[in-house]
Structure 1
Amino acid sequence: MLIWPKFDAIPTVGPSGPIVSYIGAVRYLFDAPRMLQEGYGKFKGRAFKIAKIDTWMVVVSGSKLIDEVRDAPDDVLSRSEAVNDIIAIEYTLGPNIHTNKYHIPIVRSHLTRSLTSIFPEVNDEVLTTIGEIIAPKGDEWIALPALDTVMRVVCRASNRVFVGVPVCRDPDYCDANVKFAIDVMASAVFLNMFPKFMRPIVGNMLTLVPRTVHRIEKHLRPLIEERLHKMEEYGNEWSDRPNDMLQWFLEDADGEERTITNWTKRMMVVNFAAIHTSSNSFTLALFHLAANPAQYLQPMREEIEGIIREEGWSKASMQKMRKLDSFLRESQRHTGLDAITMTRKAVKPFTFSDGTKVPLGTHIACAALATHLDEDNYTSADVFDGFRFANMREGDGESIKHLFVSTTTDYIPFGYGRHACPGRFFAAAELKAMMAHLVLNYDVKLEDEGVRPKDLWMSASRSPNRAAKVMFRKRQL
């Protein structure tokens, strides 16, 4: 691990010597939240560094430095190159995904603009899937594995607007996409245990991409071929043209991307993003609800029932559910998926306004968990308060600032600025529909009542306990 003279001026959490820094890198794999909290406590509002296996990561906090990360040009601090390093895109998602990201503008524009029109389909799939999977009889309680159950609902609801019915309901198609999402993260963690010069050797041993492409392509090939035929036959006169992700990909792809295999890979990528983040985030929120049903179920029920009675199920009605919105936002603040966010790679040397110099090749990230648990940012920050943001929205001019999807320098689970999660508006609508239907139709609790399952950490990433179950019964009127 190299130490540049200018770089050595940045304080370190963990050992900083040329050899012993690797001890810090190994510790970061297993103790990242504590190391990041230690650095935040000592160097709040400043930069500190933590060793990784093959580079250093500079961590910043405070509005000023977070704004500077947000505002840095992509040809200086690159989000794309950082993501490529973190999840080893060439081996986990495929090299063309790294070099051509045409799916991101589609998610940011087409998907977000279509939310009002596609919400009824999302809502219908959520209701249908939950009813099929969570089916207690009478007043019995049933225990279901929380994360696996949520993944099945998220996969079907997302694919209702990705590829439509009946493919979104095909068990093999859904199973393949769910398994792929899990495999990508497991493979990325595994690859990041090796220095970069070894990754081609280790990465080429992974077979998850070609294996899963073949499995998913058999479901999409007939659908793609049918749509291409209709596009050729009817052109702009195709009156029944689907309004979904696959169709947007078919219309926007250029050159070598216009193959069934590459369209399949692109659908796998959006599924990975949707299933991994949404399922984990929702499960963490579900654990909060199931640990405290007496505190949260009835107030949310009353709000949801009143709004649905007046306006029905729509994207607009979801936006009026302040308690529901707040509950999901608070879960991400208190129990977010990542201890860091806004990770960038310095593709050119970068200097912060306070004089901190970051050399070429360094990763830069913002301290998310520590920011969210800072008493200067949130009163009783270490306490989960599901209606915290609903109460904050009561103030003048505060109604938009504290929405689930809103980003600020003290609320950064979605990132911040132009690279904030492009799919967060769709994810928010989907997760709100899921939570609303659960709250209205079921009572929930944990097997060990009131004791929230312990979350799992791998490096700076949190995930819900995969073995933990939530108990459901039909709502008792």
Structure 2
Amino acid sequence: MFTPIQLSYGALSIITVASLVFISFLLPRDKAEKNELWNKLDNVGVPSGILPWTRAVFHSITALRQNTHDGYKKFIKLDRPFAIPTIWTGKAIVVVPPSALHLTNRPDSELIGFWALVENIQLPYFIPDRDVIENVIHFEVSRKDLTKRNVSRQLEPMAEEIKHCFETLWGDSKEWKTVNGWDMSGQIIARVALRTLLGSPACRNEELVEATQLFANSLFAAAAVINCLPPLLRPIIGPILALKTKKYRAQYRKIVVPLIEERIRLWEQHKKTGEPAELPSDFVQWIIPRAAQHGPEHLDPSKISYRLLALNTMFVFAMSYIFAHCVIDICASPERKRFMDGIAAECKTVLAKYPEGLASGEAVEQLHRADSAIRESMRVSDVGALSLPRDVVGKKPLDLGNGIILPLGTRLMYPSQAMHMDPDYWPEPARFDAFRFSDPFDPEVAGSGGKNEDGTVKEREGLVELTPTFLAWGYGKKACPGRWYAGQTIKQALAHMVMKYDVELVGEPPKRKALLNMMVPPTDVKLRFRRRAD
């Protein structure tokens, strides 16, 4: 049902070779090589010989991750930026050190990340309404209604939906059942995300769930290939690659548009008469008054359906990625049993104190081992090698110091994956330690107690905490606004799973592969599960 992302490296190679021939005639003879900025910056991945920058741009499809790690060791550790040619932009990206994290708080009039994120998922090829992409009313609602203060109201419906998902999809059999781990994670997360977006019973409409999953899956598969094409070829090939998503988009809208029409009618009735006394508490209901504030044209149900589809696609893929990797990382660890049993034991101890179970905010807040396991998985299983993209815009270039001036249009990013694997920040960084962030505060662990060697109190790094060495949620004032919702929901799902089921990896742990700046999801990994005996 949740078709794995299948990227044909053979087909991609053919496209790349054809593109290389095509672009060689169109690019000025390695104009970037003569650019003053690139001559001042250290660079990584640029060969010698004919058309070195053009060749480096195409080689970045498979080499960007390694180039980033090489540049990190050579230059970032010396607090120096460096350049990586990449086909993503068709030129070079400037990779800046952690000391430049303060730049993430610059105003959008100087440094903006929005368009780089849109380009990363190539949204204009999949959402035909340009206004939906440029006028992000749906993100305004996310920042208001899915914040730390408001997200607790989602605890009860999420706990209910997670329980229903596992009972429906996993059942109560004591016999082992083998499934595709990525697919199964996507099925659970898609249903839970739809509960937040569209409420119940819409979230349990199987046709809607399938259309949502397949649209998200097809979008990210196509976007990954589009990003590997030269920018000049994307308008030609991009629409062809996006054709598959049209069917799923139409299926989604066929169901959702009538629901939105009914909700608008309900909202208008509530404004006039006060009935019903209480409106549904879900995203579609929250976005209606916000859209009305922007003008009557934004109350168009078709436009709202596109907004919901765009947001839901990111919910499904991002949350599926985190949840699936967390389960796989735990199951692939030699310490799987200790981690699983440890999380389950803490969950049962904590939840025994709260009749509401996983619908209790106080209870979920105390699930420190589940919290730690998810954060640790996000550290070792990054989505990409580089993150926090920012484009230099406005009226003047950006001065990085030491004579390095970034002209308008330059994109800068941070080497998050290399930072997450830096032994100066993380002891044994390549080791997945599910309790890395909880053991120092666990009185059952010898030598812990939340104290440093000098006796001072340690600060707990919770799942959604922003720190200069953990960039999975972003950093600064513009960090992911939905991290409280995503973190809370994934923690609830993990807690429910480990308490009710035994889960194991089938076969060898998946090897991570990079395509440009994207770590390809482990879409073929197999898991097996059964209902716990206790």
TM above 0.5, yes or no, is yes
Residue by residue over 1:176-213, the C-alpha shift from the partner in whole angstroms, topping out at 9 and shown as x without a partner, is 11111112212222222333333322334333565433
In structure 2, C-alpha distance between the alignment counterparts of 1:468 and 1:161, rounded to whole Å: 28
The correspondence for 1:268, drawn from 300, 304, 309, is: 309
% identity of equivalent residues: 25
Q: What residue in structure 1 maps to residue 20 of structure 2?
A: none
Q: Does 1:455 align with 2:496?
A: no
Q: What residue in structure 1 maps to residue 228 of structure 2?
A: 193
Q: What residue in structure 2 maps to residue 295 of structure 1?
A: 338
Q: Does 1:334 align with 2:380?
A: yes
In structure 1, C-alpha distance between the alignment counterparts of 2:265 and 2:140, rounded to whole Å: 25
- Give SS of 1:352's match: strand
In structure 2, C-alpha distance between the alignment counterparts of 1:25 and 1:476, rounded to whole Å: 55
Q: What residue in structure 1 maps to residue 64 of structure 2?
A: 32
Conserved? CA contact 1:61–1:371, under 8 Å: no
- Give SS of 1:57's match: strand
Conserved? CA contact 1:290–1:444, under 8 Å: yes
The correspondence for 1:147, drawn from 162, 179, 182, is: 182
Instruction: Decide whether aligned partners of structure 1 residues 398 and 275 sit closer, same or farther in structure 2, where only a CA change above 3 A counts.
Output: farther
Conserved? CA contact 2:56–2:85, under 8 Å: yes
Conserved? CA contact 1:115–1:315, under 8 Å: no
- Give SS of 1:6's match: helix
Instruction: Decide whether aligned partners of structure 1 residues 32 and 197 sit closer, same or farther in structure 2, where only a CA change above 3 A counts.
Output: closer
Q: What residue in structure 1 maps to residue 368 of structure 2?
A: 322
Q: What residue in structure 2 maps to residue 420 of structure 1?
A: 479
Conserved? CA contact 2:72–2:415, under 8 Å: yes
Shift in Å, 1:411:
0.4
- Give SS of 1:327's match: helix
Matched to 1:442, the amino acid is: Y
The residue correspondences of 1:210-221 to structure 2 (distance < 5 A) are 210-221=246-257
- Give SS of 1:472's match: strand
Matched to 2:198, the amino acid is: V
Conserved? CA contact 1:281–1:332, under 8 Å: yes
Residue by residue over 1:314-351, the C-alpha shift from the partner in whole angstroms, topping out at 9 and shown as x without a partner, is 22211111111111101111112121110112224212
- Give SS of 2:401's match: coil
* Contiguous gaps of at least 5 residues in structure 2: 1-29, 442-449
In structure 2, C-alpha distance between the alignment counterparts of 1:16 and 1:259, rounded to whole Å: 53
Aligned residues: 471
- Give SS of 1:126's match: helix
Q: What residue in structure 1 maps to residue 353 of structure 2?
A: 310
Q: Once structures 1 and 2 are overlaid, which stretch shifts more, 325-334 or 310-319?
A: 310-319
* Contiguous gaps of at least 5 residues in structure 1: none
Q: What residue in structure 1 maps to residue 492 of structure 2?
A: 433
- Give SS of 1:389's match: coil
Residue by residue over 1:252-291, the C-alpha shift from the partner in whole angstroms, topping out at 9 and shown as x without a partner, is 1133322111111111111111111110111111112212
In structure 2, C-alpha distance between the alignment counterparts of 1:468 and 1:326, rounded to whole Å: 23
Q: Does 1:411 align with 2:470?
A: yes
The correspondence for 2:531, drawn from 464, 474, 477, is: 474
In structure 1, C-alpha distance between the alignment counterparts of 2:457 and 2:399, rounded to whole Å: 35
Conserved? CA contact 2:386–2:415, under 8 Å: yes
In structure 1, C-alpha distance between the alignment counterparts of 2:228 and 2:470, rounded to whole Å: 30
Conserved? CA contact 1:151–1:279, under 8 Å: yes
Q: What's the TM-score once normalised by structure 1's chain length?
A: 0.94
Conserved? CA contact 2:319–2:490, under 8 Å: yes
Q: What residue in structure 1 maps to residue 26 of structure 2?
A: none
Q: Does 1:365 align with 2:365?
A: no
In structure 1, C-alpha distance between the alignment counterparts of 2:422 and 2:65, rounded to whole Å: 14
Q: Once structures 1 and 2 are overlaid, which stretch shifts more, 13-22 or 316-325?
A: 13-22
Residue by residue over 1:343-393, the C-alpha shift from the partner in whole angstroms, topping out at 9 and shown as x without a partner, is 112224212134422222222110011001111111111211111111345
Conserved? CA contact 1:454–1:464, under 8 Å: no
Instruction: Decide whether aligned partners of structure 1 residues 248 and 125 sit closer, same or farther in structure 2, where only a CA change above 3 A counts.
Output: same
Instruction: Decide whether aligned partners of structure 1 residues 121 and 356 sit closer, same or farther in structure 2, where only a CA change above 3 A counts.
Output: same
Matched to 1:373, the amino acid is: M
Matched to 2:55, the amino acid is: I
Q: What residue in structure 2 maps to residue 345 of structure 1?
A: 391
Matched to 1:79, the amino acid is: G
Matched to 2:36, the amino acid is: P
Instruction: Decide whether aligned partners of structure 1 residues 16 and 364 sit closer, same or farther in structure 2, where only a CA change above 3 A counts.
Output: farther
Shift in Å, 1:67:
2.0
In structure 1, C-alpha distance between the alignment counterparts of 2:132 and 2:222, rounded to whole Å: 16
- Give SS of 2:427's match: coil
The correspondence for 2:168, drawn from 107, 123, 132, is: 132
Conserved? CA contact 2:376–2:437, under 8 Å: yes
- Give SS of 1:427's match: helix
In structure 2, C-alpha distance between the alignment counterparts of 1:378 and 1:198, rounded to whole Å: 42
Shift in Å, 1:7:
2.8
- Give SS of 1:426's match: helix
Matched to 2:281, the amino acid is: N
The correspondence for 1:91, drawn from 125, 132, 137, is: 125
Q: What residue in structure 2 maps to residue 247 of structure 1?
A: 285
Conserved? CA contact 2:344–2:499, under 8 Å: yes
Residue by residue over 1:87-143, the C-alpha shift from the partner in whole angstroms, topping out at 9 and shown as x without a partner, is 2222133422331111112112112243222211011101110111113623x2111
- Give SS of 2:72's match: helix
Conserved? CA contact 2:38–2:83, under 8 Å: no
In structure 2, C-alpha distance between the alignment counterparts of 1:436 and 1:37, rounded to whole Å: 34
Residue by residue over 1:59-98, the C-alpha shift from the partner in whole angstroms, topping out at 9 and shown as x without a partner, is 1222x21222x12221222111212332222213342233
Q: What residue in structure 1 maps to residue 267 of structure 2?
A: 231
Q: What residue in structure 1 maps to residue 326 of structure 2?
A: 285
Instruction: Decide whether aligned partners of structure 1 residues 131 and 354 sit closer, same or farther in structure 2, where only a CA change above 3 A counts.
Output: farther
Conserved? CA contact 1:93–1:269, under 8 Å: yes
In structure 1, C-alpha distance between the alignment counterparts of 2:332 and 2:235, rounded to whole Å: 44
In structure 2, C-alpha distance between the alignment counterparts of 1:322 and 1:368, rounded to whole Å: 24
Bigger CA radius of gyration: 2
Q: Provide the alpha-carbon RMSD of the alignment.
A: 1.9
Q: Does 1:258 align with 2:299?
A: yes
Residue by residue over 1:416-465, the C-alpha shift from the partner in whole angstroms, topping out at 9 and shown as x without a partner, is 012211111100011001100111011111112xx422233221212332
In structure 2, C-alpha distance between the alignment counterparts of 1:276 and 1:93, rounded to whole Å: 16
In structure 2, C-alpha distance between the alignment counterparts of 1:71 and 1:472, rounded to whole Å: 44
- Give SS of 1:310's match: coil
Q: What residue in structure 1 maps to residue 40 of structure 2?
A: 9
